[in-house]
A and B are shown apart, each in its own frame.
Chain A
Amino acid sequence: MDHIFEKYSLKKPENLIPLLQDIQKEKGYLTDEIVDKVADYLHIPTNRIYGVATFYDQFRFRQRGQYHIQVCRGTSCYLCSSSSYLKEIEKLLKIQAGLVTRDRKFSLEIVNCMGGCGKSPVIRINDNYYHRLSVSDLSDIIRALREKKQ
């Protein structure tokens, strides 16, 4: 993590959010140890870091699965029944939104908007976007991913 710290040579509290963002981008999620280190580095109490990190939706304290599924729940996607996709995925993976499957293969997240409202409903799996899928197509995609070896 030292190379990330180096980028923020000015040890000012305003760097807290960008620093956490960079760490999360590299590590995938935040842990208690990371928070301790950041607190040491920026000389801010850990409780304040937890305060900030839990306030913003972006920060997470849980590892993502190998395939991270994001279901958009923006107004437009909601109207185009994105919730039925969400239900279908929850049923297939047997997890609720915000959780990771036991084999760490899938994680599911509801996002507020991906900016693709013109193409709703939008679902994103890692870096691939899917739009206007039928529910059965979606199940096929997830099944294919599940059977895929590493």
Chain B
Amino acid sequence: MPAQELNDNRAFLIEKVIKNYSGIFDKATTEKVALLKRDKITRPAIYIGTGTCGIISGAKSTLENVNRYIAENNISADVIEVGCNGCCSAEPIVDVQLPGKTRLSFCNVTGDKVDDILNSVLHHTLLPDQVLGQYKQPGQEEWPNIPMVDQIPWFCSQRRSILKNAGIISPVSIDDYIVRGGYKSLYKTVLNYPADKICEIIDQSELRGRGGGGFPTGKKWKIALDTAGDQKYMICNADESDPGAFMDRAMIESDPHRVLEGIAIASYAIGASQAIIYVRSDYENSLNILNTAIKQAKEYGLLGENIFGSGFNLSVSVRQGAGAFVCGEETALVASLEGQRGLPGSKPPYPAEKGLWGQPTVINNIETIANVPGILENGPSWFKSLGTKSSRGTKLFSVAGKSVSTGFIEVPMGTTFSSIIYNIAGGVKDGNSLKAIHLGGPAGVCIPPANLDTPIDFESLSEIGATLGLGGLIILDDKTCMVNLARYFMDFLQNESCGKCIPCREGTRKMLDILEGITKRPKEESTHETLERFKGVVQLESLAEVIRDTSLCGLGQNAPNPVLSSLKWFREEFEEHIFDRRCAAGVCHDLRTFFIDVEYCNGCNICQKKCPENAIIGSLKQPHFIIESKCTGCGICFDACKFSAIYFK
């Protein structure tokens, strides 16, 4: 875009759009906004989802092919890179919008399908099976026989307010965000309200921290505001170190300006002039997008010195986390920002009183922050109308694991697990049955099918002994071994334990050893050793109590959760591993015993040659036999057999 046009756009957006928060425009403005919003377009627009999940699925090659197609066919069209709309399993998603028509969304558009799809759209001959849906756009002609995007199962039960723009707007275009009502709340805030009023509004909305603790955000801000300090800090925690959750990444990649606006409002409310966004280092894509967004906001005067002429200054910087799970803990995060090892400190004093460099510091999760502009725009009573009595608003969840569809969703608090799994995610993959759901990352708990109808809010979850955590939902099917999963989580936590408190450092190690003892060989042993192993399980429980009661930070206190919850709900599985030395799911490789089916075995002799333990006997062209006491369960024969004659129990 030429510089002059860019300047005109900027002046128009700031003066006519942001500053007019009544939302009622004159005719000329309405038309220009519709153009910028791409409600009305003059030439075709092609949108490609290039979030991380899109890139993993091959969106880069899709993008190349779209550009090649346009160049080859001499089509004048806009190609826009957008974030992710949440339905990650349908990526790469490509949207096509023709002038006068509604925007169409196609799923699974890998590079080789680009030509077919663009050909069919541009010639108005659609094959409905390629289409995900079409977007509602008033005044535009609808495609016949194509469902609306908000009617398809993945979207219809969702209530998207912070994900409103996700997958629709370009994350690197501030204009896209502004024409959809962005930065209006910031303008309203800095011009109309004193800082304590903002804290009050947030407090009235009963917004609670989404990072896991659930502390009322308004109260936290008020503490920081009331504490005297030379320089207060606002920190946005986007260091999503929970493996299996990806909402933070998705928020940044899809709608970074909403986060920035939230940070600016929060900083104003606590009187901070410096804000830091703590991003995970593995997410390079998010990092680039965030830096671009900050640069744009500075150019527009929405961050920086004297914002909207109110005298409010704010500098926002991005810091990369260096990969430590414990840095999700507030005090450890502060230590990491100060250039030290990320060791948690004792609380109180809470960071809101004494945080970074001893100054009042508010640390909020990115999802909490993203809720703020909406609350300011629509009022606290709007926010309170969503969700349940104890937990207001909506909550982001990432749905992954063995469900049919995977991705991230936003639902009102109080939605049940079953509604998420069966209505939104489409049930369990490959027709398997559901075994459990794991909620809240490595230090989270598993929810058995009996509790599926529990509404997801802070109170109901604590009643069944669960915590919300960040909101990572992992769907487990009946081919999952709960003992092995508990071992996996313990392995992770043991690795990530910072080593400050002995119960956590040594206790997690010990728990891991016990779990490994259960899932590994030796298989043949005396009754005495079985008893010893069972004593291990009893020890697991007492160890868990010690770790929970004597660790300093959330990581340690919650570390035994996955083991305890699987012991509670799936105790028989542990006992089966211990006494019968059997893993019903066949996941614990060491516990497998192999057999040869004489009907299928033609005596080719391959397994006998490959067996490292000489456990297979038999002569050529005669069915072979495995000596059970010699077999170590390595599975080499199983992989080697070309006739599927070997099976395991």
Within 8 Å by CB of B337, from A14, A73, A74, A113, lies: A14
Contact in complex: B323, A16 (CB < 8 Å) = no
State whether the Cβ of A139 lies closer than 8 Å to any Cβ in chain B. Answer: no
State whether the Cβ of B407 lies closer than 8 Å to any Cβ in chain A. Answer: yes
Contact in complex: B241, A115 (CB < 8 Å) = no
Contacts of B52 in A (CB 8 A): 114-116
Within 8 Å by CB of B56, from A12, A13, A74, A116, lies: A116
Contacts of A17 in B (CB 8 A): 319-320, 322, 336, 339
Contact in complex: B282, A118 (CB < 8 Å) = no
Contacts of A12 in B (CB 8 A): 339
Contacts of A113 in B (CB 8 A): 240-246, 282
Within 8 Å by CB of A112, from B55, B56, B241, B340, lies: B241
Within 8 Å by CB of A115, from B283, B342, B480, lies: B283
A13 in contact with B322 given A115-B249, A118-B406 (CB within 8 Å)? no
Contacts of A115 in B (CB 8 A): 52-53, 240, 246, 249, 282-283
- Shortest CB-to-CB span from B195 to chain A, Å, is 26
A56 in contact with B89 given A75-B401, A113-B246, A119-B57 (CB within 8 Å)? no
Q: Across the A-B interface, give the 9 residue pairs with the lowest CB-CB distance, nearest first.
A: A118-B88, A75-B244, A74-B243, A56-B322, A57-B323, A117-B400, A113-B243, A76-B400, A118-B406
Contact in complex: A15, B339 (CB < 8 Å) = yes
State whether the Cβ of B324 lies closer than 8 Å to any Cβ in chain A. Answer: yes
Contact in complex: A114, B339 (CB < 8 Å) = no
A57 in contact with B338 given A113-B246, A118-B246, A118-B407 (CB within 8 Å)? no
Within 8 Å by CB of A118, from B339, B400, B485, lies: B400
Q: How far is the CA of A17 from the CA of B322 in the complex (A)?
A: 8
CB-based nearest B residue for A15: B339
Contact in complex: A79, B240 (CB < 8 Å) = no
Within 8 A of A (CB), among B278-317: 281-283
State whether the Cβ of B91 lies closer than 8 Å to any Cβ in chain A. Answer: yes
Contacts of A118 in B (CB 8 A): 53, 88-89, 91, 246, 398, 400, 406-408
Contacts of B53 in A (CB 8 A): 115-116, 118-119
Q: How far is the CA of A111 from the CA of B243 in the complex (A)?
A: 9
Within 8 A of A (CB), among B454-508: 472, 474, 476, 480, 485, 488-489, 492, 498
Q: How far is the CA of A80 from the CA of B241 in the complex (A)?
A: 19
CB-based nearest A residue for B429: A80
Q: How far is the CA of A15 from the CA of B340 in the complex (A)?
A: 10
State whether the Cβ of B208 lies closer than 8 Å to any Cβ in chain A. Answer: no
Within 8 Å by CB of B281, from A21, A75, A116, lies: A21
State whether the Cβ of B210 lies closer than 8 Å to any Cβ in chain A. Answer: no
Contacts of A14 in B (CB 8 A): 337-339
Contact in complex: A79, B474 (CB < 8 Å) = yes
| Residue of A12, A13, A79, A131 ringed by the most chain B CB atoms within 10 A | A79
Q: List 15 A-B contacts (CB under 8 A).
A: A14-B338, A15-B339, A16-B339, A58-B281, A74-B244, A76-B401, A112-B241, A113-B240, A115-B246, A115-B283, A116-B56, A116-B246, A118-B398, A119-B56, A131-B56
Q: How far is the CA of A58 from the CA of B323 in the complex (A)?
A: 6
Q: How far is the CA of A21 from the CA of B91 in the complex (A)?
A: 31
Within 8 Å by CB of B243, from A13, A57, A75, A131, lies: A75
Q: How far is the CA of A114 from the CA of B282 in the complex (A)?
A: 7
Contacts of A15 in B (CB 8 A): 339
1/0 per residue, CB under 8 A from B, across A121-137: the answer is 01000000101000000
Within 8 A of A (CB), among B396-455: 398, 400-402, 406-408, 438, 441-442
Within 8 A of B (CB), among A1-58: 12-18, 21, 51-52, 55-58
CB-based nearest B residue for A129: B56
Q: How far is the CA of A88 from the CA of B277 in the complex (A)?
A: 38
Within 8 Å by CB of A52, from B337, B340, B401, lies: B340
Contact in complex: A120, B249 (CB < 8 Å) = no
Contact in complex: A117, B246 (CB < 8 Å) = yes
State whether the Cβ of B341 lies closer than 8 Å to any Cβ in chain A. Answer: yes
Contact in complex: A13, B476 (CB < 8 Å) = no
A112 in contact with B474 given A15-B339, A117-B398 (CB within 8 Å)? no
A111 in contact with B282 given A21-B320, A21-B322, A58-B323 (CB within 8 Å)? yes
Contacts of A55 in B (CB 8 A): 324, 341-342, 498
Within 8 A of A (CB), among B217-263: 240-246, 249
Contacts of B398 in A (CB 8 A): 117-118
- Shortest CB-to-CB span from A123 to chain B, Å, is 10
Q: How far is the CA of A122 from the CA of B57 in the complex (A)?
A: 10
Within 8 Å by CB of A122, from B56, B442, B480, lies: B56
State whether the Cβ of A67 lies closer than 8 Å to any Cβ in chain B. Answer: no
Contacts of A58 in B (CB 8 A): 281, 322-323
Known: A12-B339, A116-B56, A118-B400. 17 other contacts (CB 8 A): A14-B337, A52-B341, A58-B322, A75-B243, A75-B438, A75-B472, A75-B488, A76-B244, A76-B401, A80-B402, A113-B240, A115-B246, A116-B246, A118-B53, A118-B406, A119-B89, A119-B91
Within 8 Å by CB of A59, from B249, B322, B485, lies: B322
CB-based nearest B residue for A119: B56
Contacts of B89 in A (CB 8 A): 118-119
A117 in contact with B245 given A75-B400, A75-B474, A79-B480 (CB within 8 Å)? yes
A18 in contact with B243 given A114-B282, A115-B283 (CB within 8 Å)? no
| Residue of B56, B325, B341, B400 ringed by the most chain A CB atoms within 10 A | B56
Contacts of B325 in A (CB 8 A): 112
1/0 per residue, CB under 8 A from A, across B31-75: the answer is 000000000000000000000110111000000000000000000
CB-based nearest B residue for A117: B400
- Shortest CB-to-CB span from B323 to chain A, Å, is 4
Within 8 A of B (CB), among A79-132: 79-80, 111-120, 122, 129, 131
Q: How far is the CA of A16 from the CA of B472 in the complex (A)?
A: 32
Q: How far is the CA of A15 from the CA of B336 in the complex (A)?
A: 10
Q: How far is the CA of A57 from the CA of B485 in the complex (A)?
A: 23
Contacts of A75 in B (CB 8 A): 243-244, 400-401, 438, 441-442, 472, 474, 488-489
Contact in complex: A57, B322 (CB < 8 Å) = yes
Q: How far is the CA of A131 from the CA of B337 in the complex (A)?
A: 34
Q: How far is the CA of A55 from the CA of B242 in the complex (A)?
A: 18
Contacts of B249 in A (CB 8 A): 115
- Shortest CB-to-CB span from A79 to chain B, Å, is 5
Contacts of A76 in B (CB 8 A): 243-244, 400-401, 406, 474
